[in-house]
A and B are shown apart, each in its own frame.
Chain A
Amino acid sequence: MVMKPFYRTLALLAGLCLTGCEIFSVTPFPDFVDKTDISMDLTHEINAIVRGETNISYQLTVVDSPTQPPRVLLLVEPPSSDPTLGFNYKGQLIFMDSNLNVLNRVGTGSSLDYFSKPYAYAHDNNVLAGYTVLTKDGGTTSIGTLDPAPGLEGFALAFGTTETDIFATPSGQYASFNISYIGYNTVGAGWGIVLPAGTLPIVPPAALPSTSDPNYANLGYQLVGLGYNSVTDELTFVLSEPAQGRIVAARIGRAAATSGSGVLLPSATSWPVAASAWPVEVDVDRPALFADVDGFFLVRRDGWMERYTWNAAGTPLALVGDPVRIVGDKSLSRRYAFLVPQAGGPPYMYRFDPSSRVLTRYRRWW
């Protein structure tokens, strides 16, 4: 009789552990599998692009707008070097709606042009792919390519119907203490520069390391994510700090960011900037990162996937709650994109597997 409560407690603990302990519940399989929603085999589409070539590279992205339907874009790039022609770009973008229905395949107007980041809905409801302007269904536009090209492969944001700005790590730099930007608007039948190219210092000049530091070029930050809140007109920059192996983020008003005099982190005293100076700091090694207005996703290299949420714009940036963490992919060849619709609606995660050429949509796991 005395032992009965003991055994009952033991059984209860064992039961709780088996059902609740994470170490018992984890599997080698991604936790998002049970959120599988739609699978689309793109083998036919891709074969039509690559024509037997190997060593294909892929980029997967989602463009979204408060007023336009989301588009899933898959860039398929065969090798671009040609024995007789030299550089001969053969990459194409596959345009799909959010349900993975293929809308169109589109290439560049010239074999000397190419697609690249940024991908975004522009102020005129077209889609900007690098320096090429396409329709939202993957058609060509009269605008064609931007001239002069911005030379930046970062993130583009449409501010209403008037302006599209591009923010990026300065061209040609591995890491930097500045963010470069440039803005376009519609001028006649084309686009013109409305925001001249400029730089936003990430840390105050007084905090910069000495330029005589032999490792100076490798120090600094890479812009890996950008969120924009149209209500408060605030930008949230997510930066990778390779030398420190961490992700940091800071928020700044758009006007201050593009004024030419703003500083993303005004109070830092020296570099490396102490963790306490950054409103958001995550120790993680070179993850794939996808930022939106509410937070960011991390596809970590160690097999976990995480969703961090930050507080609403208008207040000092801070993370809210604990991150949501699931078992993710351990294969680094997969491509991901996340859709958190600005116009409302169910969010999705997209995953492209190059080996099988299957694109899959998953329901929300975070």
Chain B
Amino acid sequence: MRHRLLLLLLIFLPTLLFAAEPGQKAALLMAPLNVEARDPLVEDILASELTTVLQNAGLTVAPRRLTVPQGADQPRLPQEERISYLLRGVDATGTDVIVAAFYLAQGEELIIQFALYDPAVHTMLGGVLTRARKGLTLFASVTAAVGDFGPAIKRYVEGGYRVEPPSGIVERITVSGPPEGSRVTFVDREVGTVAGGNLVVPYTQFTVGTTIPVRVQKEGYHTFEGSYPLTSPQVDLRLPGLRRETRFDAQLVWSFGLATGFGFGGRVHLVPDSLFLGFEHYRTLAPGTFTGDTAVRHYDTNIQVGEYIIFPYTSIFRIHLAVGAGLIVTDVAGVPGRDYTDYYILAGDPTAELALGPVKIFVRPDLHYALGMGYNLLGRAWIRTPYGLPPLTLGVRYSW
């Protein structure tokens, strides 16, 4: 019984030892540089010779040949000539190294670009460009060409081409969030324009952990500026969407001081969401004449210049002040002669505004000082209700 177990152990020992130290696994990829000139014979010879060379070097060759991925979003020849880009999307699962041979037959000449590519780190390890002859000497010529590639394979096996993934370096930055066409600037260099929803930033060597200032600009939008830490080699910067610049407002208002009326107005922003010119017109509706009273209408018109203060345009709550001038014409129906006219100045009109997207709700005390000029009603005094408070105005405005 003991002898039988020893015999079994001796039989399976080589297998166990072999499994414990598997060799590097290589996969072959053959492709013509001219996609319309595929040559199966050349590929077979290349595959045969490469397999021999690789196995002689101690590599295990996967039986499946790889192919350059096809698809609308994949780089392809001849538009993309960079071998590393062509190999980036190859499905090389379980493979340590891709051994690629791109060939181009031009007359009697055969040009072969050999490449060693590490799919794990998407890195070219080495390559050789060789020339061979077609025709009757094709086999020998390809064998010789593969032989030129042999030293590169040897260096790979010996570890000469082994690369370590870069550490501490940001490899890829993707920006998303801003609208299409937004121009993105890192530090002081414009790195591209958002298209298709994002921007893959061209490689720039940033150290992981670096905080970079980012600026996003687009015509008609507020410039966004912020600082973002690059926390990993693959960074996806999700930036906030840009806010449209407000150029115009249209508004409706209603005042507690003239509750039987309504008003409307508009503003033009000289500096978007900051400095504006505006006008407003308010009119009261005539009361009913059933009491025998004379119908009275007030027409209040003013122009103003104002500015938002304290809170930035991104805030949901904002305050603005305005100064200007206006007049209130009071028309008493049926009374011949001049209408009452009260000229006044706007002395601040501090307005609190709640932004709900492009729709804004606001409230303000009307700080208007009547000048008492001409045939007027209010005299030279602050325009106030008899309760001592200025008229309180509520409004809603739409901005675009």
- Among the stretches A24-32, A239-247, A255-263, A283-291, the one at the interface with B is A24-32
Task: Find out whether the CB atom of B376 lies under 8 angstroms from the CB atom of A28.
Answer: no
How far, in Å, is A232 (CB) from chain B's closest CB?
34
Q: Which listed residue, B337, B373, B391, touches A28 by the CB 8 Å rule?
A: B391
Interfacial chain B residues near A117, Cβ < 8 Å: none
| In the complex, number of A-B residue pairs with CB atoms less than 8 Å apart | 88
Report chain A residues within 8 Å CB of B380: 331, 355
Of B259, B330, B336, B387, the residue contacting A33 (CB under 8 A) is B330
8 contacts between A and B (CB under 8 A): A18-B259, A27-B259, A27-B391, A34-B295, A34-B332, A36-B332, A39-B338, A356-B376
What separation, in Å, do the CA atoms of A33 and B375 have in the docked complex? 13
Instruction: Report yes or no: B296 in contact with A34, Cβ–Cβ below 8 A.
Output: yes
A37 within 8 A of B: yes
A304 within 8 A of B: yes
- In the assembled complex, the CB of A152 is this many whole angstroms from the nearest CB of chain B, namely 32
Q: A302-B386, A331-B379 are in contact. Are A356 and B374 (CB under 8 A)?
A: yes
Q: Which residues of B contact A36 (CB under 8 A)?
A: 294, 296, 332, 335
Q: When A39-B335, A41-B337 are in contact, do A26 and B386 touch as well, CB less than 8 Å?
A: yes
Asked whether B181 is an interface residue with its Cβ less than 8 Å from the other chain, the reply is no
* Cα–Cα, bound, A327→B295 (Å): 17
State A333–B335 Cα separation when bound (angstroms). Answer: 24
In the complex where A25-B259, A27-B385 touch, is A33 in contact with B296 (Cβ < 8 A)? yes
Asked if A39 and B376 sit within 8 Å, CB to CB, the answer is: no
Q: Is the CB of A355 within 8 A of B374?
A: yes
A33 with B385: CB separation less than 8 A? no
Shortest Cβ gap from A322 to chain B (Å): 16
Is A23 close to B, CB under 8 A?
A: yes
B213-233 interface mask toward A, CB cutoff 8 Å, 1 = contact, 0 = none?
000000000000000000000
A25-B259, A28-B384, A29-B296 known; 15 new pairs, CB 8 Å cut-off, are A24-B259, A27-B259, A28-B385, A33-B330, A34-B332, A36-B294, A38-B335, A39-B337, A302-B386, A303-B384, A330-B378, A331-B380, A355-B374, A355-B379, A356-B375
B386 touches A33 (CB 8 A): no
**Is A330 touching B384 in the complex (CB atoms < 8 A)?**
yes
Beta-carbon nearest neighbor of A33 in chain B: B296
How distant is the Cα of A27 from the Cα of B336 in the complex, in angstroms? Answer: 24
Q: How large is the interface on A (under 10, 10 to 19, 20 to 34, 35 or more residues)?
A: 20 to 34
Q: Check B384 against A34 for contact (C-beta < 8 Å).
A: no
Rank and list the top 3 A-B pairs by shortest CB-CB distance, nearest first: A331-B379, A356-B375, A34-B293
Interface centre among A33, A41, A304, A333 (most CB of B within 10 A): A33
Q: Are A334 and B378 in contact, CB atoms less than 8 angstroms apart?
A: no
Would you give the shortest CB distance from A266 to chain B, in whole angstroms? 38
Q: Does A137 contact B (CB under 8 A)?
A: no
- Give Cα distance in the complex from A28 to B378, angstroms: 8
Residues on A with C-beta less than 8 A from B379 are 329-334, 355
Which residue of B335, B374, B383 is within 8 Å of A37 (Cβ)?
B335
- Closest chain A residue, CB of each to CB of B293: A34
Contacts of A39 in B (CB 8 A): 335-338
| Residue A97 is within 8 A (CB to CB) of chain B in the complex | no
> CA of A35 to CA of B387 in the docked complex: distance in angstroms?
22
Can you list, as one digit per residue, whether each of A349-362 has a CB less than 8 Å from chain B (1) or not (0)?
A: 00001011010000
Chain B nearest CB from A146 CB (Å) reads 37
For window 313-366 of A, CB contacts with B under 8 Å fall at 327-334, 353, 355-356, 358
Chain B residues with Cβ below 8 Å from A327 are 385-386
Given contacts A24-B256, A36-B332, A331-B372, contact A302 B377 (CB under 8 A): no
Task: For A331, give its contact among B293, B340, B381 (CB under 8 Å).
Answer: B381
Kindly state the separation between the CA atoms of A356 and B341 in the bound complex, as whole angstroms: 11
Question: Which of chain A's residues have a CB closer than 8 A to the CB of B256?
Answer: 23-24
A29 & B386 in contact (Cβ 8 Å cutoff): no
Q: Which residue of A38, A355, A358 is within 8 Å of B372 (Cβ)?
A: A355
Digit string of B237-259 for contact with A (CB within 8 Å is 1, else 0)? 00000000000000000001111
Interface check B364, CB cutoff 8 A: no
Cβ contacts under 8 Å, B385 to chain A? 23, 26-28, 327
Residues of A within 8 A of B372 (CB): 331, 355
- CB of B377 within 8 A of CB of A30, answer yes
A38–B338 CA distance with the chains assembled, in angstroms: 11
Chain B residues with Cβ below 8 Å from A329 are 379
Minimum C-beta distance from A55 to chain B (A) = 16
